[in-house]
Every structure is written in C-alpha cells, then in structure tokens.
Amino acid sequence: MGYLVLGVLLLLMVFWVAAMVDVGRTPDVALIKVGSNKAMMMTLVVLTGWIGATYWFALMRPRVQRLGAGGRQAAVGPPS
C-alpha cells in the first residue's frame, strides 16, 4: 500500500514539473492571445500543484495551441 501511494505521488510530481516546464516554454504572446499571461499561469501551476497542472494541460494548453498562434513554434521566426 505504501509503495502505491509513493508511486502515485511521484507521478503527480512529474506531471506537475512537466506542466511548469511547458508553461515556461510557451511564448508569452500566445498566452496573451488567450487572455492570460505567463506569470499568472506559472503562479497558478506552482501554487496549486497537480490541480493547476491539470488545468494547464486540459484547458489552457489546447486553447493556446488553437488560438495562440500555435504554441512554442510561433516565437521561432517570421512566417514563411
């Protein structure tokens, strides 16, 4: 039972860190287009843990990719 709990907590921590990295790598311009900003999203994910990570991956990230100029690739350079 103890190993199961430890495993679940470890998976939640990895999920949380992955969300922080993903928010950090997302261009601020893309977040502004969806009505948010990087500081607010990072604060939400850091302070709320796996709940904020779930919010990021389930709601905000798809919206950023759909409306926010395609996510990380939008900041690479001018359109071709």
Reading the chain (80 residues) residue by residue, the pLDDT tens digits are: 899 999 999 999 999 999 999 999 999 999 998 889 999 999 999 999 999 999 999 999 999 988 865 545 544 455 55
Q: By C-alpha distance, which of 60, 51, 58 is closest to 33? A: 60
Alpha-carbon torsion, ordered 70, 75, 76, 80, to 10 deg: 60
Spacing of C-alpha 71 from chain mean position: 11
pLDDT score for 53 = 96
